Amino acid sequence: MTALAAFLHRHPRLRLAGLLSAPTAWLVVAYLGSLAALFLSAFWTTDPFTSDVVRIWSLDNLRAVVTTDVFRTVALRSIGVAVAVTVIDVLLALPVAFYMAKVARPRHRRLLVVAVLTPLWASYLVKVYAWRAILAEGGPLDWVLRPLGLGSPGFGLPAVVAVLAYLWLPYMILPIHAGLEQLPDKLLEASADLGAGAGRTFRSVVLPMVLPSVAAGSVFTFSLSLGDYIAVQIVGGRTQLIGNLVYANITLDLPLAAALGTVPVVVILLYLLAVRRSGALRSL
Amino acid sequence: MRRTPALAAALCAVALAATACSSTAKPSAAGGAGFTPPRLQAMKTLGPGEGRVNLIAWAGYAEDGSDDPKVDWVHPFEKKTGCQVSTKVAGTSDEMVNLMKTGEYDAVSASGDASLRLIASGDAAPVNTDLVPNYKDVFASLKMQKWNSVNGVAYGIPHGYGANLLMYRKDKVSPAPDSWAPVFAADSPYKGRITAYDSPIYIADAALHLMSTRPELGIRNPYALDSKQFDAAVALLRQQNANIGEYWSDYLKEVSAFKSGNSVLGTTWQVIANTAQAEKAPVDAVLPKEGSTGWSDTWMVSAKAKHPNCAYRWMDWIVSPEANAQVAEYFGEAPANRLACDHTADKSFCATYHASDAAYWKRVWFWTTPIPQCVDGRKDTTCVPYAKWVQAWTGIKG
């Protein structure tokens, strides 16, 4: 035993390899392995009558995903929803996180963080069905908006964006809050001393400092929205997103579902690359 | 791809028929009147129960009192046989086919658009009807039909049959509809409040509507559509899509939509209408004058069943006169067992649901899997197979 310890002490690289091999194997097998399996099955086909997977190689599924109009429309719609949800969440999270980190009294800050985290304790389905009740005809939203001559938007694309923006908001608030906490108050005071108004301080001091946090939060909101299919089924009316196409095909045509499933993977990879290029991740 | 000629390959790619094109390599695909299912043996003798049975069922087929304490035919079965029932409710036939492929379930209440697929893929085993004593009292018109037998071999026990109905809110829809026309009309006054069943098989509902509105298309069976007829049905559904509020496959979702008024008109099952009425939604359901699509369900045993003896006991139980009467009355369908008519709480139930009324069921087209060999008997053309229906359905929803 002591010999082994001495040996490892002399060979730091081996020591490191021994420590990291288990988590690395887990990452490669479970995470990359399943991605690879997904990608591989996209090249298979199915028996049209029994829906059994037939292991005949073909590019037809991937070609279908690229060339079929409806798949393109749905993919673009899904990206649009993910972008809209991300933008809404950034706009909502910035003031909330700023208040939590800078304005609220220190002993309230912790409570506010807990309050933001609380919705994460409730089941996803409960929250979405609650929104179905809120948005339904004659529901609370209808009741509130009726005096203003408006009504609930009903079930559809706007409802999906609203519900997803609600669901993923904590994932945006928390990183921004963490970023703002690290922002020294002195900088805000210095900016004010130099004569900058609130707007100028926000643009020139706060925003550049929290941009990496916003980018990190946006990776959550963007990818979670892009993959969602349950909220759409419940409040989406007749809308379908890329996740619904995967879900609809997974029962009958697994290879096509796999080909469709690669679309969000590719989009998210591109998004991560774009975020990285912008330099927002460098200071994380 | 390599084994198909270039032209065919190109056509396949264009039509996105990835699935249809490779089928030539596999002999299990349907072939005329009789395809050859995998060779599987039915059970010879009934052994002792395994203490458990896992079912895939339509909502309302295996009630254990959790939805309504008075509606319970699962606990008496468990008490009698010692087989603990666990039920997975499925919303569509496609879901059932997929769940059966997992091999975790022992029996399934398959409709006619799932049964042949399950037989062809070898997921459902032949059934030895001698081991199901109550089978002898099942209506003869339901036995050995094309959706529950292949080449004279039985693959299941008939459960019950019914029609897909038109449900409407009595306070929002007037006059009361007696036709599918307002569901499909482009200028329907109920735009944005129409609902439809979220499954490719719903294309048959559009085809059925076209049978009466556009006779020149010559549709004789809504499950046997050549490409011209199919395109017409798809075009009708695309036009309908603009008026749809939401599609449903989860029956509780439809109940809630009709309760709130988000949906006021659309296709339904009797059990949904009953549930909505029980929750005080002002709805009614009718069989429109053009007729309707419908289902004739069959309990089938999985080829990979881990509890086959309990599965056989369940099949015998669910078609026993008492249980069959209960399930038929709760779900709102005609029972399969002719003796069940004596056990219904409502003595006129079998008359209301037209059990064994052959003339009535002529207007109802039971779900059938569409296959290239037209099921209406046409030999001069090929019909659009179900795989294309699935693709078209995605396109319809847009």
What's residue B38's pLDDT?
86
Nearest-by-CA chain B residue for A129: B253
Best mutation target among B35, B95, B262 (most A Cβ atoms within 10 Å) is B262
Instruction: Please give the Cα distance from B109 to B220 (Å, whole number).
Output: 28
B37 three-class SS = coil
Two tokens at B301? 């045993």
Instruction: Please give the Cα distance from B268 to B275 (Å, whole number).
Output: 11
Say whether B244 and A155 touch across the interface (CB within 8 A): no
ipTM for the whole complex: 0.79
Higher pLDDT, B15 or A9: A9
Q: Do residues B246 and B262 make contact, with C-beta atoms less than 8 angstroms apart?
A: yes
Of the candidates B373, B96, B3, the one whose C-alpha atom is nearest the C-alpha of residue A45 is: B3
Q: Is B140 exposed, middle or buried (0-12, 13-18, 19+ CB in 10 A)?
A: exposed
Q: How far away is chain A from the Cα of B16, in angstroms, using its nearest Cα?
A: 5
- Residue in B13, B22, B256 nearest the CB of A45: B22
DSSP string, B362-378: TTEEE-----SS-TT--
Note whether A209 contacts B: Cβ–Cβ < 8 A. Answer: no
Say whether A252 and B18 touch across the interface (CB within 8 A): no
Q: What's the fold here for domain B165-268?
A: D-Maltodextrin-Binding Protein; domain 2 (3.40.190)
For range B265-285, the mean pLDDT = 91
Q: Is A274 exposed, middle or buried (0-12, 13-18, 19+ CB in 10 A)?
A: exposed
Give the rounded distance of the alpha carbon of B367 from its chain centre: 5
What's residue A283's pLDDT?
54
Two tokens at B54? 């896992």
- Residue in A64, A139, A248 nearest the CB of B260: A139
For range A83-107, the mean pLDDT = 94
Q: Domains in chain A and their CATH numbers? A: 27-277 (1.10.3720.10)
**What is the tens place of the pLDDT at every residue in B72-92?**
999 999 999 999 999 999 988
Nearest-by-CA chain B residue for A235: B246
**What is the tens place of the pLDDT at every residue in B180-189?**
999 999 999 9
What's residue A282's pLDDT?
64
Mean pLDDT over all residues of chain A? 89
Note whether A51 contacts B: Cβ–Cβ < 8 A. Answer: yes
For range B315-329, the mean pLDDT = 94
Place of tokens 């002529």: B362
Say whether A63 and B23 touch across the interface (CB within 8 A): no
Say whether B16 and A67 touch across the interface (CB within 8 A): yes
Chain B residue numbers with beta carbons less than 8 Å from the beta carbon of A255 are 18
Q: How far away is chain A from the Cα of B1, in angstroms, using its nearest Cα?
A: 6
**What is the tens place of the pLDDT at every residue in B214-238?**
999 999 999 999 999 999 999 999 9
Chain B residue numbers with beta carbons less than 8 Å from the beta carbon of A233 are 250
Sequence letter at residue A74: V
Reduced to 3 DSSP states, what percent helix, strand and coil does chain A have, rounded to the nearest 5?
80, 0, 20
**What is the tens place of the pLDDT at every residue in B97-126?**
989 988 999 999 999 889 988 998 899 999
Best mutation target among B3, B16, B40 (most A Cβ atoms within 10 Å) is B16
Name the CATH architecture for the domain at B52-161+296-357. Answer: 3-Layer(aba) Sandwich (3.40)
> Going by C-beta distance under 8 Å and a sequence separation of 6 or more, which residues neighbour residue B224?
B370, B374, B375, B376, B378, B383
CATH 3.40.190.10 in chain B: give the residue spans. 52-161+296-357, 165-268
pLDDT band at residue B15 using 50, 70 and 90 as cut-offs? very low
What's residue B22's pLDDT?
35
What's residue A281's pLDDT?
66
pLDDT at position B33 over 50: no
For chain B, give the percent of residues with pLDDT over 90: 61
